[in-house]
Structure formats: C-alpha cells, structure tokens
C-alpha cells in the first residue's frame, strides 16, 4: 500500500464534459521519517502538469475533513502556499516546533498537498459547463524517537498472525508504525488474500480475507513498506 492518499475535491461546477484530472504535483518520496533531534527536514516537489498550479500545504493527524485553519501538529511546512510552474521543482521545508512527543513509540502525522489548477478564462458556448477539480494528496510523516532509530527495518518481521474464525488477527508488538501492503494465507500453491492495513505501535487488527481461509494454511506471506517507500516481502507462521 502506498504511504500517500489522494482525494479529488470539486472546487466549482465548471469543467468541459470529458476532461480528466490527474495529480501532477509529485514528491521525491512517499513518506518522511523525522528523527528525534532534527529541527527540520526537506521534501522536493515537482509540477508534472502542463500548466501552473497553486499548492497549499499543511500537516494534520490524517483527518480528511481537516482544514489548514484547524489542523494541529508539531511539524509545520514552509512555505504554506506557493506557485509551481510546469516542470518546476521546489523544496518544501518541514520544521519541528519542539512539542513534546512520546519517547517510547513513533508518532504519525500527515502532510497535505492541496493542488489548485488555474481557471480557464475562455468563454463557454451555450449549454456547456466547466468543472475545476482540485487534488489533495496526503503523505506520512513519522516522528521517530532517538532510541528507535536502529531497529526500524526489523520491526515488520516481528508481526504475529493468529487465526480467529475465518479471519486473521495481526499483532504489532513493536513501537513502530508498520504499513502492511498486503498479505496472503498460503496452502500449497493457493492462497487467501488479506487486505492492506496500517498497524500502529502495540496494536492489534483483524483482517478479513477476500475468500475463506484454507483449513490447513499455516503460513502468512506479507508485504510491508520500508522507510524508502519500497515494498519488502516476508513470511510468518499462522498460529
């Protein structure tokens, strides 16, 4: 599962029928790891659209209904609003405000990139309408305490999977956020897929398969996303 989420928001009822919108402002990576002790991090953005856009940025707790005016987070993006011309690249600064955060586990926040395209000034023919579509991309920002800096890549290998009826309970006994990109209970050459899930520190989640679990399946193969946004594969016994 990719660590960013995309939402299209209708800004005004004005777009010619049949036109399409795509997220054109992209980042150099899909997540930002903010190690304790750092005062800031940077993220390169580029506008791959053929037109200029206005980009508004803010950090929140992941609520899709949150607005820049109400969002509260210990990380502040600068600049909060800027213009990107076609093909232009710009570095976004992420500043830690110094707020005290838990030292025994990671904290998760979300960087919002709100992309506003220009409105056409061309007149419309009678009977036509125009719709301007804005795009909002969310990316993970993970604050990692100092004592957790060394073992992040080992955390996903400590997941525990247990059969519970026709579902699988997955336990994350670690202090890390683990992005489970997908999983499958294996029986021979066949398998029962399990959904992707974000696993907070010290949490349990119940995953319902897309088809019944094999009666004698005893292994779970799963994909997880590392700090670089790359997919890694592991396996674990199904208890």
The CATH number linked to 213 is: 2.60.40.10
> How many CB atoms within 10 Å of residue 183?
27
Residues of the chain with pLDDT under 70: 1-23, 120-134
95 vs 78: CA distance, rounded Å = 8
pLDDT number for residue 24: 86
pLDDT number for residue 106: 98
pTM comes to: 0.84
DSSP readout, 86-154? TT-EEEEEEEE------SSS-EEEEEEEEEEPPPP-SPPPTT--B-EEEEEEEEEEEEE-GGGSS-GGG
Is 202 strand, coil or helix?
Answer: coil
Instruction: Let me know whether 159 and 109 are in one domain.
Output: no
Quick check: 24 and 8 in contact, CB under 8 A?
Answer: no
Q: Could you tell me whether strands 132-144 and 219-225 are parallel, antiparallel, or unpaired per DSSP bridges?
A: unpaired
Q: Which of 113, 205, 133, 124 is nearest to 164 (CA)?
A: 205
Quick check: 110 and 3 in contact, CB under 8 A?
Answer: no
Instruction: Let me know whether 114 and 178 are in one domain.
Output: no
Instruction: Let me know whether 135 and 199 are in one domain.
Output: no
User: Domain end: 128, 147, 166, which one?
Assistant: 147
pLDDT number for residue 10: 33
Quote the domain boundaries for residue 162: 152-237
Number of domains composing the chain:
2
Longest dimension (CA), the chain: 66
Instruction: Let me know whether 83 and 140 are in one domain.
Output: yes
Instruction: Let me know whether 143 and 37 are in one domain.
Output: yes
pLDDT number for residue 63: 82
pLDDT number for residue 4: 40
Q: Measured in whole angstroms, how far is the alpha carbon of residue 145 from the centre of its chain?
A: 20
Instruction: Let me know whether 20 and 122 are in one domain.
Output: yes
Instruction: Let me know whether 75 and 172 are in one domain.
Output: no
Instruction: Let me know whether 181 and 128 are in one domain.
Output: no
pLDDT number for residue 121: 57
Q: Could you tell me whether strands 53-60 and 31-35 are parallel, antiparallel, or unpaired per DSSP bridges?
A: unpaired
Instruction: Let me know whether 215 and 178 are in one domain.
Output: yes
Instruction: Let me know whether 192 and 133 are in one domain.
Output: no
Is 157 strand, coil or helix?
Answer: helix
């Amino acid at each position: 599962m990719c660590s960013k989420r995309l939402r299209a928001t209708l800004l005004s009822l004005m777009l010619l029928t049949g036109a399409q919108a795509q997220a054109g402002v992209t980042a150099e990576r899909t997540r930002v790891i903010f190690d304790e002790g750092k005062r800031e991090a940077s993220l390169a953005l580029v506008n791959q659209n053929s037109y200029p856009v206005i980009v508004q940025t803010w950090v929140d707790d992941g609520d899709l209904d949150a607005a820049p005016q109400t969002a509260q987070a210990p990380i502040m993006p600068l600049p909060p609003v800027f213009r990107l011309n076609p093909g232009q690249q710009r570095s976004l600064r992420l500043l830690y405000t110094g707020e005290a955060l838990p030292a025994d586990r990671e904290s998760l926040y979300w960087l919002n990139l709100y992309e506003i395209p220009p409105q056409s000034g061309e007149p419309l023919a009678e009977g036509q309408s125009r719709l301007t579509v804005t795009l909002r991309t969310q990316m993970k920002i993970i604050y990692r305490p100092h004592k957790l800096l060394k073992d992040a890549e080992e955390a996903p290998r400590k997941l525990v999977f247990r059969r519970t009826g026709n579902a699988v309970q997955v336990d994350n006994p670690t202090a890390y956020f683990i992005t489970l990109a997908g999983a499958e209970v294996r029986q021979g050459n066949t398998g029962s897929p399990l959904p992707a899930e974000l696993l907070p520190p010290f949490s349990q989640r119940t995953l319902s398969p897309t088809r019944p679990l094999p009666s004698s399946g005893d292994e779970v193969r799963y994909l997880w996303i590392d700090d670089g946004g790359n997919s890694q594969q592991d396996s674990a016994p199904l208890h």
